[in-house]
């Protein structure tokens, strides 16, 4: 309950978005043998809230003293992106706040926060769609990045935020530590503004590259694990999943099995039988031209695996017979 209390104390401007991170297990020969989608425990939430508070306090102190440092910034969203988000949520029957006339970035940020909370509540009520619906919220926002200027962190509702708590794995944290030690007279030189600005650009670029690499590695590991599961349990095994994205060519589906809860694959639109399907205007559903039947973000679907390309981490799916 301590984590919840800390979250409540600072939650007025923070987004409520659910996400999962895969955790893979390997044998002594390096073969992936299982995976879980990590869920937050009370201990995780407590540590997270304490880290957030620490990052805020350090950023505020360095800003007040005028110490050059790296801030973790998340700028307010573009109003037109939030208008689009509200349209998308409405197309899925999800609750969304009204759009005020002449909405500016700050109001757009407030609406994004309110929408994230109402969508999370609705997903909880429906019993599905929490992660796919949350992804719509995230796609409407600007990406977080590093900057030598404090531009605030809209996603956390923080006026000043830094990355301070992971100096063994993030270079931006070392920059912040050096600035703090310089202010405390602990033997570090004060960071140079020009060098900090260069580091902000470089660290943001490297973060994007490492995120892409991590995502590719996760996809490849999941593909190897899925093939093992199919080999053990039969290649026509049906899986239950949720639609995690739609494009004109088809639908992406997240699904889980006995060995892992981290799989994702693609169902080509030509595999959805019965009629021609096309992407709707809000880009949240594939809609049948004759019946209006829709395959939408967050829908629960049953699928089978058609093909696995392990080196590329790609999985081709098809609807379970009579299920889509």
Domain that holds residue 258: 235-319
Mean local confidence (pLDDT), 188-217: 96
Q: Do 173 and 299 reside in the same domain of the chain?
A: no
Number of independent structural domains in the chain? 2
Which residue from 167, 146, 165, 142 is spatially nearest to 155, judged by alpha carbons? 142
Q: Do 97 and 161 reside in the same domain of the chain?
A: yes
Q: What is the pLDDT of residue 256?
A: 92
Q: What is the pLDDT of residue 30?
A: 92
Q: Do 151 and 60 reside in the same domain of the chain?
A: yes
Q: Is residue 182 within 8 Å of residue 188, measured between CB atoms?
A: yes
Q: Which residue has the tokens 């030598």?
A: 148
pLDDT digits (tens, 9 = 90+) for 261-308: 899 999 999 998 888 999 999 999 999 999 999 999 999 999 999 999
Q: Do 189 and 272 reside in the same domain of the chain?
A: no
Q: Is 306 inside a domain boundary?
A: yes
Tell me the percentage of the chain whose pLDDT exceeds 90.
80
Q: Do 215 and 90 reside in the same domain of the chain?
A: yes
Distance CA 320, CA 310 (A): 22
Flag whether pLDDT at 36 surpasses 70: yes
Q: What is the pLDDT of residue 142?
A: 95
Flag whether pLDDT at 6 surpasses 70: no
Q: Is 31 inside a domain boundary?
A: no
pLDDT digits (tens, 9 = 90+) for 126-172: 999 998 999 999 999 999 999 999 999 999 999 999 999 998 889 99
Q: Is 67 inside a domain boundary?
A: yes
Q: Do 60 and 207 reside in the same domain of the chain?
A: yes
Structure-token pair, residue 224: 């190897």
Q: Do 8 and 69 reside in the same domain of the chain?
A: yes
Q: Do 48 and 166 reside in the same domain of the chain?
A: yes
Q: Is 212 inside a domain boundary?
A: yes
Q: Do 164 and 305 reside in the same domain of the chain?
A: no
What CATH number does residue 280 fall under? 2.40.50.140
pTM: 0.88
**CA-angle at 211, arms to 207 and 216, nearest 5°:** 150
Q: Is 299 inside a domain boundary?
A: yes
Q: Do 9 and 155 reside in the same domain of the chain?
A: yes
Name residue 300's beta-bridge partners.
Answer: 242
Q: Do 215 and 245 reside in the same domain of the chain?
A: no
Q: Is 34 inside a domain boundary?
A: no
């Amino acid at each position: 309950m301590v984590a919840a209390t800390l979250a409540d104390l600072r939650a007025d401007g923070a987004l409520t978005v659910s996400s999962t991170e895969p955790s893979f297990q390997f044998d002594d020969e390096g073969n992936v043998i299982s995976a879980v989608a990590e869920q937050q425990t009370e201990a995780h939430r407590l540590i997270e809230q304490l880290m957030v508070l620490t990052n805020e306090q350090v950023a505020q102190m360095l800003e007040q003293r005028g110490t050059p440092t790296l801030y973790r910034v998340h700028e307010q969203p573009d109003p037109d992106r939030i208008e689009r988000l509200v349209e998308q949520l409405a197309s899925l029957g999800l609750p969304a706040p009204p759009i005020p006339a002449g909405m500016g970035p700050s109001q757009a940020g407030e609406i994004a926060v309110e929408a994230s909370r109402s969508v999370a509540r609705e997903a909880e009520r429906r019993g599905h769609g929490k992660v796919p619906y949350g992804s719509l919220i995230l796609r409407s926002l600007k990406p977080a990045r590093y900057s030598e200027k404090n531009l605030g962190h809209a996603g956390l509702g923080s006026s000043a935020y830094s990355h301070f708590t992971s100096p063994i794995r993030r270079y931006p944290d070392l920059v912040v530590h050096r600035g703090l030690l310089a202010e405390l007279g602990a033997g570090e030189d004060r960071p140079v503004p020009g060098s900090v600005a260069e580091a902000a650009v470089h660290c943001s670029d490297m973060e994007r590259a490492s995120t892409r690499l991590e995502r590719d590695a996760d996809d490849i590991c999941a593909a190897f694990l899925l093939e093992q599961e199919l080999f053990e349990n039969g290649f026509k095994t049906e899986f239950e999943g949720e639609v995690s994205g739609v494009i004109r060519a088809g639908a992406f589906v997240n699904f889980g099995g006995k060995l892992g809860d981290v799989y994702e694959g693609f169902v080509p639109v030509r595999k959805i039988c019965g009629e021609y399907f096309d992407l709707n205007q809000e880009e949240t559903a594939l809609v049948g031209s004759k019946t209006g039947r829709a395959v939408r973000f967050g829908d629960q679907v049953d699928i089978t695996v058609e093909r696995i390309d392990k080196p590329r981490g790609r999985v081709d799916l098809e609807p379970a017979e009579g299920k889509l």
